[in-house]
Amino acid sequence: MPVSSALLSVFNALPGAYLLLSPALVVEAASDAYVAATLTPREQLVGRPVFEVFRDNPDTPEANSVRNLRTSFEQVLATGESQELPQQRYDVPDPAAPGQFVERHWLPHNSAVFGADGRVEHVLHAVTDVTAQVQAQAALRESQAREQAALAEAERQRGELQRIFEQAPVAIAVYRGPNNIIELANPQVCELWGRRAEDIIGKGLFEALPEVAGMGFEELLAGVLATGEPYVAREMPAQHDRNGRRETVYWNFVYLPVREANGHITGVMVVANEVTEQVVARQQVQDLNKQLATLNQALHLSNQELLINQEEVLLVQQRLEGHVQERTQQLQAALHEAEQQRTQATKQQHLLDQILGQVPAAVATLSGPEHRFSFFNDTYQALSGHRAQLGQTVAEVFPEVVEQGFVSLLDQVYTTGQPFRGQDTPAQLHNRATGQSEHLFIDFSYQPLVDERTQTEGILAFIIDVTDKVQARQRAEALQAQVQAASQRQAQARETVYQVFAHTPAAVAILRGPKHRFDYVNAAYQSFFPSRQLLGRPLAEALPEAVGSGEAARLDQVYRTGETYFGQDLPVLLDQPSGPPQLHYFTFTYQAYYESEAIVGVSIFANKVAGPAAQHPA
């Protein structure tokens, strides 16, 4: 049966995406919301077969959009039973780019509309656009995967830092607070102090090593704690009780401030090399080779940064657009026609009741200033816990919402004639099955219904449960906060390592890749080559003499095999800013460093010494 123009106007203004089809699947009516959601003008819809308007996207053949919907329509026409389909990928034509499609995901609901004789006269096709939710869920899964990877990487780096601390070929200790409580001490510093770790951890420095008290270390440590400025010492003497006697030893060391995340200084880190043999040898015998006590070991520097792709899960709900005056005129015309054609009006009313009853949202109409129920559909009855009854007021059916302000909003809409819309609004509803209050989030609108004099006589309530959407967004925000915290911890650890390298007395360089590109050099290393640009350049380009001297080949072997190479007291001819090159001697280490258990470069640790040899550190 054709749809009357009065009913067509009401259908067009429905606050949801609806399509009315004939048994031949020809479009008879399309709501404004459906026209907006599908980007298709109404004149291109009405009167045309639905699958002529909406064809399959050839780029997504796996979606089977047309086949799935056609099968559902045919079953509704054959059985008269409603069909609620699972989520469907059904792209729509892009009006801005002919031949192209816009991605869309839908939740379709197909219902039969019966005539007075009980036969199916129409199919009501209702859809909810869940494209944003589908895309947000995909983004959430990617965010969770990134967070897990970030947490695993942070844990791996923590273990790597601990391993390097324990195995570092230099003496490292951390003192905490003004009393210089020894918090950490690696095996090398314990050996040089002549103490066991269990005998010194938790004690004050000068309690654990009473022989060094009064030698000026107290003032140096207090200065670093007070100013935050590192202190670097070279060949500083100290007294230590070890090997059964008191010995005078000499140190090269640096005191570095240890800061909390807020920048507050809470302790001091010491990185030291014992240089006793070199000092004594220089004082007693000029031709005695200076010896370095320990070698520095490479620390893995991670160049990967966490990408915090902040994507919020948001399902865009269709918003109600009220055209109250036009709708009232259309309803008045329908009532006038009903007086003249009672039988036709009865059929039309029957059709309207079916449509409103099958809308997949909670819909109710409220009459008068007391807001008494004059209509509600099954979805609204389910939302009320089957408490709603015609003629009762909202306050009688939902006493729990009075203090929540919903009845006051109804009073406001009725008094002012202005619609009200709420989005992601929390609500507490009594659950009769459990006897407990149930916490929900809803999108809702209160639309005034007016008479022929434009006076408000009731309110149309339209409610959608969006609890899942809001909870998904809250979970995404919590995950984002965790990822940011992991990133901050990783940045703090990396900054501590930079401080150690920047102030250590040894020359440090990091080469990356098979071409040994300079990825990091500290000031001590750069001072060996004052007239050259090292960072970012391959070894053969920055230091071409390293190729002819065989150092490039040694670096290749370390990069390929992972075996550490040690060079001791070896000569190097270094260019000077002015004048001829000068011969210097070095003790150095080439050591592979790893990322994700794979060799990605070589680290160089070198110290200038005095003594003859026959090799050259790059």
Instruction: Please state the domain extents for the chain.
Output: 1-129, 170-284, 504-609
Q: Which of 495, 443, 436, 492 is nearest to 465 (CA)?
A: 443
Let me know if the fold of 170-284 is the same as that of 504-609: yes
Using CA atoms, how far apart are residues 605 and 572, in angstroms rounded to an integer?
15
What pTM value is reported for the model?
A: 0.39
Tokens 């005539």 label which residue? Answer: 115
Are 140 and 471 spatial neighbours (Cβ–Cβ below 8 Å)? no
Under CATH, which number does the domain 170-284 receive? 3.30.450.20
Q: Which of 547, 502, 549 is nearest to 526 (CA)?
A: 502
Are 565 and 590 spatial neighbours (Cβ–Cβ below 8 Å)? yes
Question: What's the CATH fold of domain 1-129?
Answer: Beta-Lactamase (3.30.450)
Using CA atoms, how far apart are residues 407 and 522, in angstroms rounded to an integer?
70
Under CATH, which number does the domain 504-609 receive? 3.30.450.20
- Measured at the alpha carbon of residue 550, what is the angle toward residues 545 and 555, in degrees to the nearest 5? 100
Q: Which of 98, 162, 435, 161 is nearest to 299 (CA)?
A: 161
Q: Helices in 103-262 by DSSP H: which ranges?
A: 131-167, 187-193, 197-200, 205-208, 217-227
Using CA atoms, how far apart are residues 355 and 188, in angstroms rounded to an integer?
82
Residues sharing a CB contact under 8 Å with residue 103, sequence separation 6 or more, in sequence order: 89, 91, 131
Using CA atoms, how far apart are residues 118 and 62, in angstroms rounded to an integer?
38
- Measured at the alpha carbon of residue 50, what is the angle toward residues 44 and 55, in degrees to the nearest 5? 90
Q: What does the pLDDT read at residue 558?
A: 95
Are 251 and 236 spatial neighbours (Cβ–Cβ below 8 Å)? yes
Using CA atoms, how far apart are residues 548 and 566, in angstroms rounded to an integer?
19
Q: And the tokens for 268?
A: 């001091």
Using CA atoms, how far apart are residues 128 and 470, in angstroms rounded to an integer?
17
Q: Which of 110, 10, 119, 111 is nearest to 69 (CA)?
A: 110
* HSE-up (13 A, CA, CB side) for residue 379: 15
Tokens 């923590």 label which residue? Answer: 158
Using CA atoms, how far apart are residues 423 and 29, in angstroms rounded to an integer?
28
Phi, psi of 463 (to 5 degrees): -130, 135
Q: Which of 609, 482, 548 is nearest to 149 (CA)?
A: 482
Q: What does the pLDDT read at residue 312?
A: 44
Q: Which of 237, 216, 219, 235 is nearest to 227 (CA)?
A: 219
Using CA atoms, how far apart are residues 470 and 476, in angstroms rounded to an integer?
10
Using CA atoms, how far apart are residues 604 and 555, in angstroms rounded to an integer?
10
**pLDDT, averaged in runs of 10, over the chain (618 residues):** 76 91 94 94 94 91 90 94 93 92 94 92 94 91 91 80 73 93 91 89 92 90 94 90 86 92 92 88 62 36 38 41 59 68 61 65 93 92 91 95 94 96 94 89 94 92 90 88 77 66 85 95 88 92 88 94 90 76 86 89 89 50
Q: Which of 75, 55, 77 is nearest to 64 (CA)?
A: 55
Using CA atoms, how far apart are residues 574 and 584, in angstroms rounded to an integer?
7
In 448-475, which positions are buried (b, 16+ CB within 10 angstroms) versus exposed (e)? bbbeeeeebebbbbbbbbbeebbebbee
- Measured at the alpha carbon of residue 161, what is the angle toward residues 157 and 167, in degrees to the nearest 5? 140
Are 19 and 8 spatial neighbours (Cβ–Cβ below 8 Å)? no
